[in-house]
Amino acid sequence: MELHKIGVAGFGTMGSEIALLAAMAGFDTVAYDAYAPAFDANLPRLAKLLRVLQKDLDDAGREAVLARLKTSPDASALNDCDLIIEAVVEDFAVKEELLSGLGKACKPEAIIATNTSSLGVTRLAATSGRPERFIGLHFFNPPSQMSLVEVVPGLLTGKEVGAAALDFVNRIGKKPIFLRKETPGFIVNRVLMAMAVEAMSLAEQGIGSPQEIDEALRRGAGWPLGPFKLMDLVGLDVFLSACEGLYRELGEAKFRPPFMLKQQVEAGRFGRKTRAGFYDY
């Protein structure tokens, strides 16, 4: 199917940038968020970001891009979209309520996608009531800078839905990787979390400090950021939740959340967003 109008549910950092990417690619785009202040917080940021992303555009060109992006605190604004991307908080109950409503209200031929990083696509697809027209589109944070999108089919996802999702990712200028089958954590997070858990194990054993381990992997393995700085950037609360999900689904010790990670989260040290995590900011 051809995609003309894109909907985004959730206008936080992830959702707002996904919406901007769609508008930049020429799609009519509508973003929904029940929390109206999210628009006040992110729309000015997107206007500044657009200047960075498309320096060759003049003021009229940037205004045209932003004019293609509409916002609404009413979910019914998404009802006539061809593709709706859910980008709300990584909580199954919250996503279930939203996806159930979208599945009932949007047009029959619409595709619903989830931006989840750790929850099962097949499980979320079932909540939508239309699993054959459901798919995972896992963007990385921040979407404006990260080139990869993992395209993850659920068990019942139709082939034409997968093809339309791949086409959309290509049209917004990102690189899609299509998973041959669903797995918890997909590709990147499944590998990354195992490595980060091992790094925390080394720190807990006193073999190296977080700073020393970061420096070792940056200089010895070519990581642009070490694992501890990367976890701080992602958010330690988000990382802990994802770790717990992988450990619960797969039962493998390499994904068991280390005590030092739980301790940071219990102390309210979530990383960059709280200005304190494994590092102070």
What is the C-alpha separation between 110 and 92, in angstroms, rounded?
22
Tell me if residue 150 is catalytic. Answer: yes
Question: Which residues are within 8 A (CB) of 165 and not within 5 positions of it... i.e. 6 or more apart?
Answer: 83, 111, 113, 135, 137, 151, 176
Tell me if residue 117 is catalytic. Answer: yes
This prediction's pTM:
0.90
Q: What CATH superfamily classification does 190-274 receive?
A: N-(1-d-carboxylethyl)-l-norvaline Dehydrogenase; domain 2 (1.10.1040.10)
- pLDDT of res. 123: 96
Per the prediction, the chain carries an average pLDDT of 96
Give the fold, CATH level 3, of 5-178: Rossmann fold (3.40.50)
Cβ atoms of 255 and 193 closer than 8 Å: yes
- Among 13, 78, 77, 74, smallest CA distance to 46 is for 13
Residue ranges, comma separated, of all CATH 1.10.1040.10 domains in the chain are 190-274
Q: Which of 115, 118, 150, 241 is catalytic?
A: 150
Q: Which of 86, 90, 138, 144 is catalytic?
A: 138
Q: Which of 115, 117, 144, 241 is catalytic?
A: 117
Return the CA Rg of the chain.
Answer: 19
Minimum mean pLDDT among 109-113, 174-178, 226-230, 239-243: which range?
239-243
C-alpha distances (whole Å) from 227 to each of 64, 148, 244, 256 are: 40, 19, 17, 16
Question: Which residues are within 8 A (CB) of 105 and not within 5 positions of it... i.e. 6 or more apart?
Answer: 75, 76, 78, 79
Tell me if residue 138 is catalytic. Answer: yes
- pLDDT of res. 211: 98
Residue ranges, comma separated, of all CATH 3.40.50.720 domains in the chain are 5-178
Cβ atoms of 251 and 262 closer than 8 Å: no
Q: Which amino acid is at 231?
A: M
Mean pLDDT computed over 37-56: 95
